[in-house]
A and B are shown apart, each in its own frame.
Chain A
Amino acid sequence: AQSVTQPDIHITVSEGASLELRCNYSYGATPYLFWYVQSPGQGLQLLLKYFSGDTLVQGIKGFEAEFKRSQSSFNLTKPSAHMSDAAEYFCAVGGWHNDMRFGAGTRLTVKP
């Protein structure tokens, strides 16, 4: 069965600094991978997704993620954090929504 691990429960970065949120997955076949963002009191919004092809995926809001099959990872990065990036981030793996697994989430705090 597939699973997702987000090792960091909480990350704090300074505004303007780079950020990286880690995601490791377990999946028997080629995975479909997603990053979602949840702002306080809101539902989840898709940041980016990987299905196949180029392993470096560009998303919205300046985020990108790299699929590394050898490391079973799909880490989310952004070169320069903004205050508005403060939110909860979820990594998910699966090919079918009824079979999708979400990580426990990483809460990102951005300091002025």
Chain B
Amino acid sequence: NAGVTQTPKFRILKIGQSMTLQCTQDMNHNYMYWYRQDPGMGLKLIYYSVGAGITDKGEVPNGYNVSRSTTEDFPLRLELAAPSQTSVYFCASSLRTENTEAFFGQGTRLTVV
């Protein structure tokens, strides 16, 4: 059972470049989330989705975009990379949004130079 799979694991971007972080889950979860993890800051929610075609902003959405065309996939797009977006990004999914655990991918370490 693969769970939540993120690609790539590592990436270096130049300022102004764009990229898409891929996330897919095979647990048929409706709810999916993108977090960023900065040292000493815990995890901050960037965007979330409650089902295919439905997305909403989290705590720190600026500079990012998402889409959810299928239940399985929830890609995160960075259009104009900035050094402030250097972080570790985690995708997660859950069966419901309340009273249940989230399953996390292994993360993508992104450096913007």
Contact = CB atoms under 8 A, between A and B. Distances in A.
Interface of A: 4, 9, 32, 34, 36, 41-46, 49, 51, 90, 92, 95-98, 100-105
B42 interface: yes
A49 B69 CA distance: 31
Contacts of B21: none
A104 B38 CA distance: 9
A90 B41 CA distance: 11
B58 interface: yes
Given A97-B97, A98-B33, A101-B42, 8 more contacts: A44-B43, A46-B102, A97-B94, A98-B45, A98-B58, A102-B43, A104-B41, A105-B42
Interface stretch (B12-20, B75-83, B103-111): B103-111
Interface residues of B, number: 25
B31 A97 contact: yes
Given A97-B33, A97-B48, A105-B42, A43 B105 contact: yes
A46 B94 CA distance: 12
Contacts of A96: 97-98
A43 B90 CA distance: 7
A9 to B, nearest CB: 7
B53 interface: no
Contacts of A32: 98-99
Contacts of B99: 32, 51, 95
